[in-house]
Structure 1
Amino acid sequence: MIDVNFKLLFTLQILHKYYFADQVCNDFSITSSATTNAVASGHRLVVRQYNNQLYVGTQFINTQPPPPPNQDTPLVPVEKGMQMTFYMWLNNPLFFNYTNLPSSYDTSKIYYFTNRNNNNIPGMNFLSAPKSSLLYNSANTYLPGDIAANGAGMIFSAIAPSDQANQHGLSDTAFWVQVDNNGYASAADVLQWRFSVSTYNFQSAQPGAAIAVSGYNAATNDYTLSVLASTITFNSPVSSFPLDLTLLKPGKYLLTVNADPPQWIYINDELNTSRPFAVIDIFNEPSPPSCNLVDTNGYILSPAYTIYFMNRATKWKYIINSGNSYSITDGSSVYQFTPAASTVTSLTPIPLSDQPLDMKVNVNSNAIAVASADPQRLASVGDSYLYSEIYLNY
């Protein structure tokens, strides 16, 4: 006797450190691309989102007697190279206020997450760019909030600016704070979004265009496979030209034109009329291991993927409306503030959270609990820090 049931092909969860209790992030809706809908139909897959998780189930054959544990086979085989594409739509307008990503959203860019990144720690399989792309480099400029990784994969967040002329390594606790070893979404996940036919602007007028596009090389797990190479000669030097990439299927590519700096780009004309926050590509491939949806025998592996966001840290500025001079203290003795005054500021950035911290204002020898920073109110005063302003009526 054979019964047909469903088993998870893979799952995806979205987490955020701002949400203190469980880190469950319900700020996004996830939808499937038109191509993915066809793939799901042809493979007897069911795709459902529940809260912060995406579930993709596959029909499998349940025989009598049943097979050994973890040897369930999809009713429709999941072939090598199968791809599923999903779109993340942001529903919370305050998301960038409490998220450690650039607060000004560039609509010409898009975040891109994929299991090809092979960004893993024990028990977690992240879809963000590998931590090797975040390795600390003393030649780089780091501003508060920027993140960097050490050789062991530990993530650090900058709490003070540094650059090549003012170098401060990750061990300098006045400039860096250790976070953990998770794989967080970052600027390394941002691609330039392009139509399949778009205008390419030169930095200066050019007599021609040597176009080279590299795609994913499954043999080496990198973007070194030449998928397009052409040369165009113009009648006279031009400052721009129509770049035709219609021969390429939707996806991530590395584009080089002449001697201009290479660009990581994403092409997908399905997004011509509306742009999601991010694209998620899930592949079934023999390597890297993060792309194994089934094993070499075709048995379902049910990997669990994660997209993880870090909470933004700001300097907290308490403004005493009465004009009196009071001091602010942290009950946990983690954060320090400037001396008593009518405006008191934290000496270092403090991570925002939906869990209030134990902050107190000291008024006439009495310690009175006060509010923590609210992500609805961010300010900048001309330096490299973002500030959260908290007004007190004392």
Structure 2
Amino acid sequence: MATLSINRIRKSYGALDVLHGIDVDLEDGGFLVLLGPSGCGKSTLLNIIAGLDEPSAGDIAIAGRSVTALPPKDRNIAMVFQSYALYPTMSVERNIGFGLEMRGVPEQQRKAEIRKAAEMLQIGHLLDRLPANLSGGQRQRVAMGRAIVRNPDLFLFDEPLSNLDAKLRVEMRTEIKRLHERLGTSIVYVTHDQIEAMTLATKVAVMKGGYVQQLADPRTIYERPANMFVAGFIGSPAMNFIRGKLLSDSAGARFTSEGVIVSLGGPGGANGTRECVLGVRPEELKVVEMEDASLEGVIDVVEPTGPDTMVTAIVGNQAVIARAEPRFQGRRGDQIRFRVDPSSINLFDAKTEARIDVGDASLIRPIHENGFS
């Protein structure tokens, strides 16, 4: 059974449409990440799930029951905010257990739940402290503890790590993943950080302009993005995009551009061509000598990072980035050649930016339609 069902959710503020008919289901025990840039609608959708905002149309169901008309307190959810939202004059123990206290849970049971959550989050030794005496990471653990003791059907996380420094973000990301594995409770998590999405999610909804661009598991999102927006948003450095043509003749299909020719194999067929964009991730570009080269160009920038070296090269009139070996010795101005495995590339329509599959014969237009001979 789905823990969460988001059905045709729309949200408008006057004439401004913010969400355009969102449909997402989250399985019991799943981890859904709403991922996208600022203004894409992900926080608005989270607030609608929480009951902090009302949809203009559509329905939200949690644990099999519609909650669209219910206030937040009756939805059996727990929310972790970006700002921690701790009571400054209360101890860690009271902050964690305050919701239970307000619900009239007996003190002995309340203390047992607080201690269990605190030990799980490794903050048992901090229960007597005030929030002002805690680090950012410890405050976020307290906020998570307050959510855990509610034993909800669904956890909601609103960019919980954005206030932390880089090292603490990594540590807290690990804590959240460990927490999900221990509790098995479904989580909806909002972020603009694609690393958080890839490491935490069982399912990612990539959003742009109030639409879900793609809903899939992280591996599918990374390897088979639905369009150029998804492809460019996921991955660091971002996917390379090279504009060119997809050609088909008796020798098979191939992508060509200035300084680029990638054979896509397949049986020979009718002659045809199509304007398209080749997408290839930096780690898929292998530096080679003359033989078997798919791309060739001139080195523009070399950036050693320690575990590898990022190489920016000008191929034709387009810049591409490759992730080379740590001891790469090339310099600016040197010729460079790359080989790419055809199975690792993505192709996108030049106009719609949607993903295309070479195996579909209808995707190759007859040459005479485009004026080629």
TM class by shorter chain equals: under 0.3
Q: Which structure has more strand as a fraction of its residues?
A: 1
TM-score of the two chains, using structure 1 as the length reference? 0.22
More helix by share: 2
